[in-house]
Amino acid sequence: MLDTDRLRADIPAYDTAGPPPVFLDSAGSSLPPRIVVDTAVAHLRREAEIGGYRAASERLDDLAAVKTAIATLINADASAIALSDSASRSWSDFFYAVPLRPGDRILVSGSDYASNVIAALQRARAAGATVEAIPSDDTGQIDLVALDSMLDDSVKIVSLLHAPTNGGLVNPVAEATRIAHRVGALVLLDACQSAGQIGIDVAELGVDAMSATGRKWLRGPRGTGFLYVRPDVCRELEPSRLDLHSAAWTGPQDYRVAPDASRFEFWECDVAARLGLGAAVNYLLDLGPENVYADVAAKARHLRENLPSIRGITLRDLGTEHSGIVSFTVDGVDPGQVRETLRAADITVTVSYRSSTLLDMSARRLESVVRASPHCFVTLEELDRFLEAVDRLAG
């Protein structure tokens, strides 16, 4: 069981005498615990006192511990973790390291994110490869039968999306990965919207690489993310860019790439933000990840059960297993106007547009949806305030 009083006391946003804000945008950029803010700010102050190099050297063990904490969370070895500035950077760093030749095929998920597909299209154009979308089944999930029928040895990489940005769907990643591996394709998992709200065991999922961000459900600082790379796969790939951290200059014409996932890192980084990410992951581990996952699921379920009772509301979530993202539309009201009207009542939601998940939203003839994403620190009373506000707006 989670201690709601502790959760609330740990968030600076709730240091108010008036009605607390209703925050439903952890799928965008969540509210960090106080320890995350304090950790990052303290390091920035230390940099101001003695300079960035000395300040970083004091925290070498703590920086290494960030990878250990992430590895604990996803059941990996710390050497398989590379830290970055975002999920998109992590995804791209791995994707651009996979060799492609004319005739090779790249498969993307039907609900894949714009950044991923743009990168895939760019590389396909340059290499003479092709990009193909995996169809969705009747529930909206990846169609595993269709995926199986698309595979042959020309498929080099399969991009899987764990939880789409535009609604509460969870894809069957482990099953899709097993299918893709039958032809030797690499599987790159985008866990941007799942890390921190859904249990992830990379050994169980079997993926070759996985990207994630710090700012969403993990509640870390913006400008943080990480990449997991399966060790045997890591040793076979050379990143498209290297520096003196990801490789060693061994002779006038020679260099040696780092032996582990650090080959996907650069030396220069935001040390304060990375320490803040470590604080966020350790905070989650201290709460008990399974407790947090269950609470997020319960809060999202509360919204899914009650929103349809409001006249004029249409739930837009697909799938049979759901994430903490709840998407909906209001008849006759633009989602952007819904967001602004709720914001005036100190209720934070966001809007997901067709351009972010072009294939899925086009297939469903949707231009945009409202996205509510409650984390474990949101109370049921606040969820009901949100529902009442939506009722007034719809009416």
**Where does the chain hold its CATH 3.40.640.10 domain(s)?**
37-286
Average pLDDT of every residue of the chain: 97
pLDDT at 18 over 90: no
Query: What is the share, in percent, of the chain residues with pLDDT greater than 90?
Result: 98
What is the per-residue pLDDT across 201-227, written as a single tens digit (0 to 9) for each? Answer: 999 999 999 999 999 999 999 999 999
* pLDDT category of residue 395 using cuts at 50, 70 and 90: confident
pLDDT in tens, 298-309: 999 999 999 999
C-alpha 363/C-alpha 89 separation (Å) is 28
Alpha helices in the chain (DSSP H): 4-9, 34-50, 52-58, 60-74, 87-95, 114-127, 144-150, 173-181, 202-205, 231-234, 271-287, 289-306, 335-344, 358-363, 380-394
pLDDT at residue 114, rounded to an integer = 97
Q: Where does CATH 3.90.1150.10 sit in the chain? A: 4-29+288-394
The stretch 350-370 carries a mean pLDDT of 97
Is residue 378's pLDDT more than 90? yes
What CATH fold (topology level) applies to the domain 4-29+288-394? Aspartate Aminotransferase, domain 1 (3.90.1150)
pLDDT over 70 percentage in the chain: 100
Q: What is the 3-state secondary structure (H, E, C) of 94-108?
A: HHCCCCCCCCCEEEE
CA distances to 67, 100, 209, 327 from 115, in Å: 25, 19, 17, 21
What letters, b where the CB count within 10 A reaches 16 and e where it falls short, cover 112-148? Answer: bbbbbbebbeebbeebebbbebbbbbeebbbbbeebe
Q: Span 338-351, mean pLDDT?
A: 98
- The answer on pLDDT for 1 being more than 90 is no
Lay out the sheet containing 368-372: strands in order across: 313-315, 326-330, 368-372, 350-353
pLDDT at 109 over 90: yes
Please tell me the predicted confidence (pLDDT) of residue 23: 98
The residue-averaged pLDDT of 174-181 equals 98
Mean pLDDT of 251-261: 98
pLDDT at 221: 98
7 is written with which tokens? Answer: 């959760």
What pLDDT score was predicted for residue 187? Answer: 98
Per-residue model confidence (pLDDT) at position 17: 78
Count of Cβ atoms closer than 10 Å to residue 314 Cβ: 12
Task: Give residue 55's pLDDT band: very low, low, confident or very high (50, 70, 90).
Answer: very high
Contacts of 322 (CB under 8 A, 6+ apart): 168, 169, 170, 297, 300, 301, 304
pLDDT at 19 over 90: no
Domain 37-286 has CATH 3.40.640.10: yes
Residue 106: what pLDDT? Answer: 98
Residue carrying the six token digits 């474990």:
376
78-100 mean pLDDT: 98
User: Is residue 157 pLDDT above 90, yes or no?
Assistant: yes
The mean pLDDT value for 54-61 works out to: 98
16 has a pLDDT exceeding 90: no
Stretch 7-28: mean pLDDT? 93
- Work out the average pLDDT over 368-372: 98
- Position 304 scores a pLDDT of 98
Q: Is this structure's pTM higher than 0.85? A: yes
pLDDT of residue 220: 98
